[in-house]
Each structure stands twice: as C-alpha cells, then as structure tokens.
Structure 1
Amino acid sequence: MIDPSYLPFVMAGGGIILLVIFFHYVPFFLWLSAKVSGVNISLVQLFLMRIRNVPPYVIVPGLIEAHKAGLSNITRDGLEAHFLAGGHVEKVVHALVSASKANIDLPFQMATAIDLAGRDVFEAVQMSVNPKVIDTPPVTAVAKDGIQLIAKARVTVRANIRQLVGGAGEDTVLARVGEGIVSSIGSSESHKSVLENPDSISKLVLRKGLDAGTAFEILSIDIADIDIGRNIGAALQMDQANADKNIAQAKAEERRAMAVALEQEMKAKAEEARANVIQAEAEVPKAMAEAFRSGNLGIMDYYRMKNIQADTDMRSSIARPDSHPASHDPIGK
C-alpha cells in the first residue's frame, strides 16, 4: 500500500514521465511553430512521421519555408517521399525558393530528380543566376606555318536547368573547348595572325555550339593568354632530313657491298682464268714433245718460236722500265 500522503508526488512523477514521452514522440512546439506560420499539419501526422522514421524537424521547416515563399506545389507527402528516397530536403526547398525569386521555371519534380541524380540543385540554381567562370588547362596547338602555340581560355557558363539530369559536366565542356581551340589554331595560316587577333579563336569556338548536350550554357569564351612554343615544322623537317640521310646512307652501303661482292667475284673469275692459263701452259711442252715425235715440228721451227718469245719478253721489259734491274741501266753503271 502507498501512503496516501505520497500519492500526489507519485501522480506528479507519472505525469512528468507521460509528458516526456509525449513530447518525445509528438513535437508539440514544432507543431505550434507550424500553426503560427500558417502550415496546416496535425499532431497525429507528426506522430506518424516518427513511426515512419521521417524526422519532423526536417520536413516541417521545409514546409514553413515554402509556405512563406508562396510555393503551393510543395506538399508534406512530397517532401517525405523525397527524404525516404535519399534526397536532401533542405537543398531542394532552398533551390525552389531561389528559383521562384529569380523567375526560373523549376518544378518540384524536376528539382527532386536533379537532387536524386547526385547534383547539387541549390548550387545549380545559384549558378543559373550567377554564372561561373571555368579556367581551361593550357591547350597546345600548331598553326599551318609549323609554330606551336600554347593557349589558356576562360569559359563563362551558367547552369542549364533543363539538362541537369543526363547532361554532361564540366569535364566535357573543357574538352570541347580545348578541341575547338586546337581546330581554330590549326586552321590559321600563320601564328602571327593568331597572336594579332586572339578573339578570332573565341568567336570560332562559340559558333560550334559546344554546350549541346551538357548541363551548362556557354556564355563567353575569352582567351586569357597565348605563348609561343617550339617550331614544330622545322623540327619535323630536320627529322625528315635525318631520315632521308639515313636512307641514303643505307642505300650507299648496299651499293658498296654489291660492288665489293662484284669485285670479289671478278677476282675469283680472274684467278680461275689464270689457273686455266697456267694449266694450258703446262700442256704446251707435252704438245711440243708430241709434235717432235710425230714430225710436225722441226728443230728450226722450235728455235724460231724461242726467238719470237725472247723478243716478246724484251719488248715487255722495255715497256716496264721500273722493273729493270739497276745493273742493266747504262747511266747507273
């Protein structure tokens, strides 16, 4: 039995516990704030949010902000569904309010789709109002006269709300701008014309419509800096000349090798002919002996042949004076 004197304290403690449980599951002060702000929401709905694991302190402030901004297309069910899908409720509401103030047509369904696609919808709305400047990395290109140019550009873009879902990002824009700069410089007759009129690059690139299929709209392309690089044309000519020289040297070496081979072949043939002559000369004495035995050659014929041979040797010796011994030279005696 509880002492009757302690009964008021027990009832007071029980009431406090019930109030704590009530305020934990039913955000009364948040409901009161919504009512004061003009948002029609009941305590039962707030309690059911707790049961669905949806934080009321995220949904109700978004409803209040949208109501104060005059956005009637934002509902509690829509915000709850977006939260349960993994979206950012606060960023979506901020983006919708900013778009409404800037007179940008941004429906609630598109804003949630952009957010769920992984893009920052609030930053996209801000970029649509305040364009962003993107600096390109150095782009290297070669004019028709062979001079290399290194250009840097600044691209001013703003977000294209309609193409944020499925549109290409900044990397694609930078790649297309770089390709346009290379094409513009490459089609120039001289690097001097590019240096004199750098705005011709930006005008040509802008006419190509490089922002098609991207999440941005290109407002301007400004050439920030152009530097002169290497003389690529001269380097290519030198490389070609070296290649031609190497080819000519290879062909000359081939011809020299063929000449050496031909000379060796001729020497071999000469040696073979000399060997044949020596062999034939070795047969002469046999033939002469056979002629003596058969009576076809007489002794006087033999002496006449020897005289003719001696006369031939003398004439050959006179024709080669450097081969005479010093003892035969009358002056040297």
Structure 2
Amino acid sequence: MDILVVGGLVALFILLIIFFYYVPFLLWISAKVSGVSISLIQLFLMRIRKVPPHAIVRCMIEAHKAGLNTIRRDDLEAHYLAGGHIERVVHALVSAAKANIELSFQMATAIDLAGRDVFEAVQMSVNPKVIDTPPVTAVAKDGIQMITKARVTVRANIRQLVGGAGEETVLARVGEGIVSSIGSSQTHKTVMENPDSISKLVLQKGLDAGTAFEILSIDIADIDIGKNIGAQLQMDQAEADKNIAQAKAEERRAMAVASEQEMKAKAQEARAKVIEAEAEVPKAMADAFRSGNLGIMDYYKMKNIEADTSMRESIAKPASPQGTTGGKPSKPA
C-alpha cells in the first residue's frame, strides 16, 4: 500500500508539472494583475504552437504599461514565428513613443526582420552616433600627399532603415568627398589653413541619400602631411627616361658592334679570296713553264723587278721616331 501511495503521489506530481507547463496559471494571474486581457486557453494554445507564453505576456505587459494598446497578441506571435525578436521590437516601440518618434509596429517588425537592431536604431535616433573614418589619403594639385581623419556624426533615419545603405557606405562616400575636396585644392597650404572647407564641400554633396542615416556633421579631426608625390613621380619619370635612353644607346652600340663584326668577317672573306687567288699564281707559272710560254730568263727578270720594287717601297717609307726605317729598328753604327 505504501508503494502505491508513493507511486500515486509521484504520478500526481508529474501530472501537475505537465498541467502547469501547458496551462501557465501563474503567468495568467500575472497578466490579469497587470491589466492584460488574455485567457488560459490562449496560453495553452501558445504551448501547442511552440510559442513561449512568458515572452509574449511579458511584451504585452510592457506595451500596456507604456500605453501601447494597439499591439495585439496575434501580431507578436506571428513576428516570433517569423524569426523576429519581439523583445527588441517592443523595447523600440516604447522608446520611440517616449521620444515622440513616429514608429509603427509594422515598420518596427520590418526593420527587425531585415536584420537590423531596431532598438539600437531608435536609440541612435535619440542619441546620434559618432563614426571615426579610417585615414584617408589624398593629393593636392601641388603634389603634396595629405592624410586626413574625420569624425562623422550620424542619426538613424527610421524611414530608410529598410533597404537603406549602412555605415560602410557612409564612410566610403565621406572618404570619396574628402579625396575630391583635397584633390581640387591648388596647394596643400590652403587645406591646412581652412580644414573646415573640406567639411562644407562634403556636406553639400548630400552623402546620406539612400542610406539609413542622416549626416549631422563632418568634422576634420586630424591632417598630416605625407610624401611629395609630385616630386616622386617626376623622379620616377626621369629614371624611366634615363633607362629608356640607356636601352636605346645600348641598342645602337650593339648594332655598331654587330656591323663592325660583319665588316671584319667580310674583310676576312676578301683576304681569304686574295690568298686563294695568290695560291693560283705558282700553278699558273708552272703551267706556263710546262707549255713554254715562260722562260727561265723571264722568271729571273720578274724576280728582279719584285726585289727592286720592294727595295724602293722600303726606302720610300718615312723613318719612325725611334730612328727606325721601314718600320724596322735601325742597327747601331
């Protein structure tokens, strides 16, 4: 009997746990005390639909206490089942109502489902956010490089949060405006004297168009002087021109060397032909001896003429500075 009693108590305890899980009686009492109209059947059906009753009731209580009686339970359930954050949406609606910002439940849920933090957006609408831009490098017309840092004060634009561009687009547009402003300046001294001219020029371009933010101000935080890009470009151009001139001169030298080698080759070829022709002379003389066209006296006479011609050429040559004659050193007396 004791075992049956203990078993019955355990079963009763388990049944009570299951009952209060599917029928959150205490949560219903909390809602009634807070002035939220909701039935136990609705809470039971939330459990069946896999919707947390505590989250729905807590959001309904917060909205009711803030005077937002237009938020319905079905809308909260639908947004939760769609993958939204009902707590953030209700927090954002309450904050917007307190700050007199026009924000409907449909807009808040659309912003939340778009992946943006709607509560943070409402806070940014009340308290503007300051975004520091990365260092932006630009070059003035005189060739001096300038490195600029700016601070952009933005406020969330609730109406353009859905489909509007984010912070990256705003920073990219501000950087583009800074580069354009510095690049149109005649000298870097002008920019250093009036850095606010950059802010004015950038603000006039309407950089917040199509973005989820409204740009309130652009303040130049720091300007540093970088390299002399103009001089560096001129030096690079001069170096490039020098390399081109050297390459062309080397090409001409190579062509001259090739032409010289070609002429030497032609000279060697001509000399070889002369030697070849000279080699034919003894053969011709031998043939002349054999055929009787050349006698021995004619041969000696030709040799005497050659010796006489060689002697005259040797005498006709001027003496060298070392006292040589005919290109050969003279013998001492």
Shift in Å, 1:18 = 8.1
Distance change >3 Å, CA 304–CA 141, structure 1 → 2: same
Following the alignment from structure 1 to structure 2, what is the Cα–Cα distance between the partners of residues 268 and 62?
Answer: 103
Question: Is 1:326 aligned with 2:325?
Answer: no
Question: Is 1:237 aligned with 2:238?
Answer: no
Deviations 1:198-256 (A, max 9, x none): 11222222222222222111111111111111222222222222222221111111111
Distance change >3 Å, CA 28–CA 298, structure 1 → 2: closer
Q: Map of 1:1-333 to 2, 5 A cutoff?
A: 23-276=20-273, 293=293, 310-318=311-319, 322=324, 323-327=327-331, 333=333
Shift in Å, 1:270 = 3.2
Number of equivalences? 318
Aligned counterpart, 1:5: none
3-state SS of 1:222 partner = strand
Distance change >3 Å, CA 272–CA 59, structure 1 → 2: closer
Shift in Å, 1:170 = 1.4
Aligned counterpart, 1:7: none
Q: What code does the residue aligned with 2:315 have?
A: M
Gaps of 5+ in 2: 2-8
Deviations 1:28-47 (A, max 9, x none): 44333433433222333233
Shift in Å, 1:160 = 1.1
Length-normalised TM-score, structure 2: 0.81
Shift in Å, 1:50 = 2.8
Distance change >3 Å, CA 29–CA 267, structure 1 → 2: closer
Following the alignment from structure 1 to structure 2, what is the Cα–Cα distance between the partners of residues 46 and 255?
Answer: 97
Shift in Å, 1:120 = 1.0
Q: What code does the residue aligned with 1:224 have?
A: A
* Worse-superposed segment, 22-31 or 78-87: 22-31
CA contact (8 A) 1:39 1:63 kept: yes
Following the alignment from structure 1 to structure 2, what is the Cα–Cα distance between the partners of residues 53 and 46?
Answer: 11
Distance change >3 Å, CA 263–CA 48, structure 1 → 2: closer
Following the alignment from structure 2 to structure 1, what is the Cα–Cα distance between the partners of residues 23 and 272?
Answer: 127
Q: What code does the residue aligned with 1:114 have?
A: I
* Worse-superposed segment, 120-129 or 225-234: 225-234
Gaps of 5+ in 1: 2-11
